[in-house]
Amino acid sequence: MIGLSGLIAMRKHLDSIANNVANQTTPAFKAGRVQFQEYLTEAKEAEVPDLAKRAMVSTSQFTDFTVGGVKATGNFLDVALIDDQSFFVVDTPAGPRYTRSGAFTLDGMGKLTTLDGAPVMTSNGPLVVQQRDGPVTISGDGSISTSQGRVAGLRMVRFADRQQLTPEGGGLFSSATPPIDIPSGKGRLATGVLEMANVRPADEMSRMMAATHAYDVLAKTVFKGEPAEELRKLAGAGED
């Protein structure tokens, strides 16, 4: 059904915008986008006797990796990647994940982690420092030091095609292909600052209003009369 295809596509668009708005304060969050495509398919004569073909709608989702603004924090463990190609690596129960967020901290055991508690990977694996070693600092090339000197370097990676990364929430991405490691000490960071989300609230709200209006208009057309409940569920109509 032509209208139902468009309705499903528009629902994906609305969900993507809502997720962007929800993450507008998440450090280094990358906005998700939905690209619409129309394609032609042969119509059955019994259905559309006047037309040889009809347009259908499909969508593809992608991530906007534009670098967000930078906010000074003064925290010596906060760092921001200067270029738009690099990612930090964190360890999770599901395996390594990749993030642009450099909001790091030390847990109660002296382990370098994200704010969510995921271990941050270095050239030596997860890093644990002893309190007696003094304060931990991160320099502009990714080197991690204590009063005892350099102890490791942040692990940073790149990908041949960032659009192959899969967003997993919280600014994390997974990859089905191995990353390309940046040599230790060769990173380019700004310290004491954080990259912010590349979400522009005013733009997202404009997209939300336009998409909501289009969805409502299309839904009234598709569900005119007494629509099957299965179609409503498939298109997401009536969901919060």
Q: Are residues 74 and 191 in the same domain?
A: yes
Q: Is 192 left (phi over 0), alpha (psi -120 to 50) or beta?
A: left
Q: Is residue 47 part of a domain?
A: yes
Q: Is residue 30 part of a domain?
A: yes
What is the DSSP secondary structure assignment for residue 183, as one 8-state letter? Answer: P
Query: Residue 40: its pLDDT value, please?
Result: 52
Q: What angle do the packed helices 201-222 and 2-22 form, to 10 degrees?
A: 160
Query: Residue 170: its pLDDT value, please?
Result: 85
Query: Residue 60: its pLDDT value, please?
Result: 79
Q: Are residues 141 and 213 in the same domain?
A: no
Q: Is residue 10 part of a domain?
A: yes
Q: Are residues 76 and 59 in the same domain?
A: no
C-alpha torsion angle, residues 226, 227, 229, 235 (rounded to 10): -150
Q: Are residues 17 and 80 in the same domain?
A: no
Q: Is residue 189 part of a domain?
A: yes
Q: Are residues 188 and 113 in the same domain?
A: yes
User: Rounded to whole angstroms, how far apart are CA atoms 59 and 43?
Assistant: 21
Q: Are residues 146 and 126 in the same domain?
A: yes
Q: Is residue 240 part of a domain?
A: no
Q: Are residues 191 and 209 in the same domain?
A: no
Query: Residue 233: its pLDDT value, please?
Result: 56
User: Rounded to whole angstroms, how far apart are CA atoms 9 and 37?
Assistant: 10
Q: Is residue 12 part of a domain?
A: yes
Give which of 172, 159, 189 is closest to 97, Cα–Cα: 172
Q: Are residues 202 and 177 in the same domain?
A: no
Parent domain of 20: 2-65+198-235
User: Rounded to whole angstroms, how far apart are CA atoms 127 and 143?
Assistant: 12
Indicate the SS3 state at residue 77.
coil
Q: Are residues 225 and 172 in the same domain?
A: no
- Structurally, how many domains does the chain consist of? 2
Query: Residue 18: its pLDDT value, please?
Result: 93
Give which of 127, 96, 29 is closest to 69, Cα–Cα: 29
Residues of the chain with pLDDT under 50: 43, 45-52, 54, 226-228, 230-231, 238, 240
Could you identify the residue written with the tokens 């271990």? Answer: 119
Q: Are residues 144 and 207 in the same domain?
A: no
